[in-house]
Chain A
């Protein structure tokens, strides 16, 4: 049955006064663990939510110029790794030479098949959408990296105390 309703206009929240803000801490440098933060950041920006990404420890590889395009996925220690033919991948097999190469290649293809960009392009899109990137001071010092080594759109290398200012009033995710 069809009923005629008065005009309904979707609420896009343009009048909302709540400045919802999301901070995502990216601490992993494996290909598979780079994506959760990127996907959520992108989705949040598309919903009008302010997003800051803070990269720390292994997450530095996501914003280091000569590393961000070369993240790897390793099946080692991952008991949720399934084979394309069905069944679980035996744990004794995963450390074999070449397995990381194969698994990385497969994951990159799956990601690409879904129209999801590689990490560097995804960060380009996030920055174009208004997201901001921050790097962790301690991680930079530990790895001997400076702003020169990082993507040009990284805002700054900041301390843990600076992070407290950055994340004030924000919903914070640690990945």
Chain B
């Protein structure tokens, strides 16, 4: 297990750079993670990230794009607009969660 320094804090990350400790994340850190991958956070981005965090707290799994659409209420098309090209992984990264494990 590795740690790295983000906004002056030590956080645990995996080999690809995804945070591994749910409780080390807050929105200031989320904003910094988003900046790292070139995403400028808006209210719509935050609403989605807050859903992912809450859903993970409840289920123990990172929601897939499908679940973000059906349960989180953010249509798939909008997810691609907010987190271009690879929405599933990018959302998870910004939210400080593991990559989604589900196929759909």
B3 touches A115 (CB 8 A): no
Interface residues of B (CB under 8 A from A): 1-6, 10, 12-13, 15-18, 36-38, 64-67, 69-70, 75-77, 80, 84-90, 93, 102-104
Closest-CB distance, A17 to chain B (whole angstroms): 13
In the docked arrangement, what's the CA distance between A107 and B82, Å?
A: 34
In the docked arrangement, what's the CA distance between A4 and B67, Å?
A: 34
Closest-CB distance, B7 to chain A (whole angstroms): 11
For residue A46, which residues in chain B have a CB less than 8 angstroms away from its CB? 65, 86-89
- How many residue pairs link A and B with beta carbons under 8 A? The number is 91
In the complex, whether A8 has a CB less than 8 A from a CB of chain B is yes
In order of increasing CB-CB distance, the 4 nearest A-B pairs are A48-B85, A8-B17, A128-B77, A128-B76
For residue B5, which residues in chain A have a CB less than 8 angstroms away from its CB? 4, 7
In the docked arrangement, what's the CA distance between A7 and B65, Å?
A: 27
Closest-CB distance, A121 to chain B (whole angstroms): 9
A4-B4, A9-B17, A12-B90 as given contacts; A115 in contact with B102, CB under 8 Å:
yes
B80 touches A8 (CB 8 A): no
B85 touches A128 (CB 8 A): no
Interface residues on A, range: 20 to 34
In the complex, whether A14 has a CB less than 8 A from a CB of chain B is yes
In the docked arrangement, what's the CA distance between A116 and B65, Å?
A: 11
Set B69, B77, B86: member contacting A12, Cβ < 8 A? B86
In the docked arrangement, what's the CA distance between A112 and B64, Å?
A: 15
| 8 new A-B contacts at CB < 8 Å, known A10-B37, A46-B86, A129-B77 | A5-B13, A6-B4, A7-B4, A10-B18, A12-B86, A13-B85, A115-B70, A115-B104
Chosen A-B contacts, 30 in total, with CB atoms closer than 8 Å, are A1-B1, A2-B12, A4-B10, A5-B2, A7-B5, A7-B6, A8-B16, A9-B17, A9-B37, A10-B18, A10-B37, A10-B89, A11-B16, A12-B90, A13-B86, A14-B85, A39-B103, A42-B104, A43-B103, A43-B104, A46-B88, A46-B89, A47-B85, A48-B86, A115-B102, A116-B66, A117-B66, A128-B77, A129-B65, A129-B76
